[in-house]
Amino acid sequence: MASLSLQPKFSLHPNNSILHFHPQNKPQIIFFTRKVKIKTKTKCSSIDPQQQQQKQRESFTRKKKSVTETEKGVDPVGFLTKLGITHKAFAQFLRERYKSLKDLKAEIFTRHLNLQEMASGFEILGTHRHKEHRVDYMDWAPGARYCALVGDFNGWSPTTNAAREGLYGHDDYGYWFIILEDKLREGEEPDELYFQQYNYVDDYDKGDSGVTIDEVFQRANDEYWEPGEDRFIKNRFELPAKLYERLFGPNGPQTIEELGEIPDAETRYKAHKELHKDDPPSNLPPFDVIDNGKEYDIFNVVVDPAWQEKFRNKKPPLAYWTETRKGRKAWLKKYTPAIPHGSKYRVYFNTPDGPLERVPAWANFIQPDAEGKQAYAIHWEPPPEYTYKWKHTAIKPPKSLRIYECHVGISGSEPKISSFNDFTEKVLPHVKRAGYNAIQLIGIVEHKDYFTVGYRVTNFFAVSSRYGTPEDFKRLVDEAHGLGLLVFLDIVHSYSAADEMVGLSRFDGSNDCYFHTGKRGHHKYWGTRMFKYGDLDVLHFLLSNLNWWISEYKIDGFHFHSLASMLYTHNGFASFTGDLEEYCNQYVDNDAVKYLILANEILHALHPNIITIAEDVTFYPGLCEPTSQGGLGFDYHVNLSASEMWLSLLKNTPDHEWSMSKITSTLLGNKNYADKMLVYAENHNQSISGGQSLAEILLSQGNDKAPQSNELLLRGSSSLKMIKLITFTIGGRGYLNFMGNEFGHPKRVEFPMPSNNFSFSLANRCWDLLEKEGVYQDLFRFDKDMMKLDKNEKVLSRGLPNIHHVKDTNMVISYLRGPLLFVFNFHPTDSYERYCIGVDEAGEYQVILNTDERRYGGQGIVKEEQYLQRTISKRVDGLRNCIKVSLPSRTAQVYKLSRILRI
Catalytic residue status for 615: yes
Could you tell me the sign of the dihedral formed by the alpha carbons of 157, 163, 164, 167, in that order? Answer: positive
Q: Using an 8 Å Cβ cutoff, are 497 and 447 in contact?
A: yes
Per DSSP bridges, beta strands 636-639 and 611-614 are parallel
> CA-to-CA distance for 349 and 158, rounded, in angstroms?
9
Q: Distances from the Cα of 854 to the Cαs of 694, 786, 850, in angstroms?
A: 22, 16, 10
Q: Using an 8 Å Cβ cutoff, are 621 and 90 in contact?
A: yes
Q: Distances from the Cα of 406 to the Cαs of 59, 206, 546, 637, in angstroms?
A: 55, 47, 20, 19
> CA-to-CA distance for 321 and 491, rounded, in angstroms?
43
> CA-to-CA distance for 282 and 64, rounded, in angstroms?
65
Alpha helices by DSSP H, 72-164: 78-83, 88-108, 115-118
Distant-in-sequence, close-in-space partners of 362: CB < 8 Å, separation ≥ 6: 121, 122, 125, 126, 139, 461
Indicate the helix (H) or strand (E) that contains 431: helix 428-434
SS3 of 666, please? helix
Radius of gyration (Cα) for the chain, nearest Å?
Answer: 35
Length of the chain: 903
Q: CA 747 from chain center: how many Å?
A: 33
Q: Which amino acid is at 837?
A: I
515-529 burial by CB neighbour count: b if 16+ within 10 A, else e?
Answer: bbeeeebbbeebebb
> CA-to-CA distance for 606 and 116, rounded, in angstroms?
8
332-341 burial by CB neighbour count: b if 16+ within 10 A, else e?
Answer: bebbebbbee
Q: CA 436 from chain center: how many Å?
A: 21
How many other CB atoms sit within 10 Å of the CB of residue 796? 24
> CA-to-CA distance for 796 and 438, rounded, in angstroms?
14
**Could you tell me which of 781, 744, 783 has the C-alpha nearest to residue 765?**
744
Set 582, 615, 793, 853: catalytic member: 615
Task: Classify residue 537 by burial, with Cβ atoms within 10 Å: 0-12, 13-18, 19+.
Answer: middle
List residues with catalytic annotation: 615
